[in-house]
Amino acid sequence: FSQVTGMQKFTGCVHATTTSLHRQTDKHHPLENLTSVEVGVDKNVKAGSSTKTGRNRQECLGHPALVTILARFFGKLLGQELDPLTNVLVTVGAYEALFCCFQALVDEGDEVIIIEPFFDCYEPMVKMAGGTSVFVQLRPKAAETGKLMSSGDWQLDPAELASRFTERTKAIVLNSPNNPLGKVFTREEMEFIADLCVKHDVLCFSDEVYEWLVYDGKEHIRIASLPGMWDRTITIGSAGKTFSTTGWKVGWTLGPDHLLKHLRTVHQNSVYHCPTAAQEALAQAFQREFDSYGKPDSYFVQLSQELQQKRDWLVRSLVAGGMKPIVPEGTYFLMADFSEFKSEVPDVPDSDEPYDSRFIKWMIINKGLVAIPVSAFYSTPHKRNFDHLIRFCFAKEEATLKAAEDILQQWS
Ligand code: PMP
């Protein structure tokens, strides 16, 4: 390790130029006086090399074989040359990647914009870092008559989104494809968000764990590849979603060194190192994908084809059973409106528990069908407005999808 530095959060603007906005905070983070080791700058250690003991000091940032292939693979997709040592950090799942982002880059008093519905850990993680979540909603527009609603029908109001950016905004969290809705943000939507980030000198934490699960020929856009965004974006990925290995807990972040160095400090002083065996397996899987990228035998191509068929199967079953599914453009989740079934479970207006949660408990016990309440993906003031929706997962064995179909057919 070449340098010993005091731990400091990123507090300034993305570019250290005199023209960009400077938002310095005079508040100190409680960990600021901790001594930590700055890593990733040991020029004597090359990614892919190792010492006689089989481990080198870089391993805490990621197994050399893995950071090397991640840099090659995503460098190509992002149109950006990536240095395996300074632009890649391997984490214990995307969860740790997110945690490092908030802990490293969000300070007390900072605002973080979160798009609703959102993956539920964002809000508590912002809070743990001392920040404040500012919510903006994707709003459904009516589907064309006779057509099922699509996740693409849920959109941000541009003026409402713009109004959420203030002097205190440190970052926006973008999750495309989105869990729980399955929305895949279009290039135009991404460009609008990117322009606001550049205009207000705001960071973007881009949670792209479902990047390969995109259907109907839709394109996954990487916001870091848009003009002005590389320098202010942390891109987050997950082996769990990419190679269907949920329990393995390997994730990664990609980004500029001036941001990743702060994540490295958090990672090094909390988790330090992710299990090597899983990282090596992932490196080999990525190498295979690199060689077959875009070809029919690519795992990514086959996985999305298989899941699209499963999505369509569950959609048909839900329609036949009387629910109104919102057809997702991505992810392996699907939200459905169960309003038609409300008479089966009486509402309790003053209950602390949202209606969708109570409905699901009833459904599990009485019908043997499991889903997740969509209210769990909303901030407290907005939960009640969406408690007529539940989220299903269709990354299931055929026998399970058949069982769901049978349950829905025999419901009444
Ligand atoms: N982000 C989103 C949007 C997710 O849905 C999940 C997992 N459900 C994660 C991050 C965490 O991924 P991992 O399992 O790799 O920690």
Q: What is the pLDDT of residues 146-159, one digit of tens each?
A: 899 999 999 999 99
Report the pocket of ligand 1 as residue ranges, CB < 6 Å.
93-95, 119, 175, 179, 207, 209, 238, 240, 246, 249, 251
- Averaged pLDDT for residues 191-195: 98
Predicted ipTM? 0.99
pLDDT interval class at 257 (50, 70, 90): very high
Could you give the domains of the chain? Answer: 3-291 (3.40.640.10), 299-409 (3.90.1150.10)
Mutation probe of ligand 1 site: the residue of 89, 92, 95, 118 with most atoms within 8 A of C-beta: 95
pLDDT interval class at 57 (50, 70, 90): low
List the strands of the sheet with 88-91, edge to edge: 88-91, 251-254, 233-238, 203-207, 169-175, 111-116, 132-137
How many angstroms separate the alpha carbon of residue 340 from the centre of ligand 1? 31
How many angstroms separate the alpha carbon of residue 209 from the centre of ligand 1? 6
Whose CA is closest to 235, among 74, 116, 397? 74
Those residues with Cβ within 8 angstroms of residue 255's Cβ, 6 or more apart along the chain or in another chain? 87, 224, 230, 233, 234, 235, 263
How many angstroms separate the alpha carbon of residue 119 from the centre of ligand 1? 8
- Averaged pLDDT for residues 338-364: 89
Mutation probe of ligand 1 site: the residue of 89, 119, 212, 213 with most atoms within 8 A of C-beta: 119
User: Which DSSP symbol is given to 407?
Assistant: H
User: Which DSSP symbol is given to 135?
Assistant: E
Q: What is the pLDDT of residues 1-39, one digit of tens each?
A: 233 333 445 444 444 332 333 333 333 444 444 433 444
- Output the CA–CA distances (angstroms, integers) from residue 163 to 109, 134, 158, 169, 199, in the order listed: 18, 11, 9, 11, 13
* Contact by Cβ (8 Å): 244, 210: no
Whose CA is closest to 150, among 116, 184, 179? 184
* Contact by Cβ (8 Å): 388, 338: yes
In this structure, what token pair is assigned to residue 361? Answer: 């408990």
Mutation probe of ligand 1 site: the residue of 183, 213, 238 with most atoms within 8 A of C-beta: 238
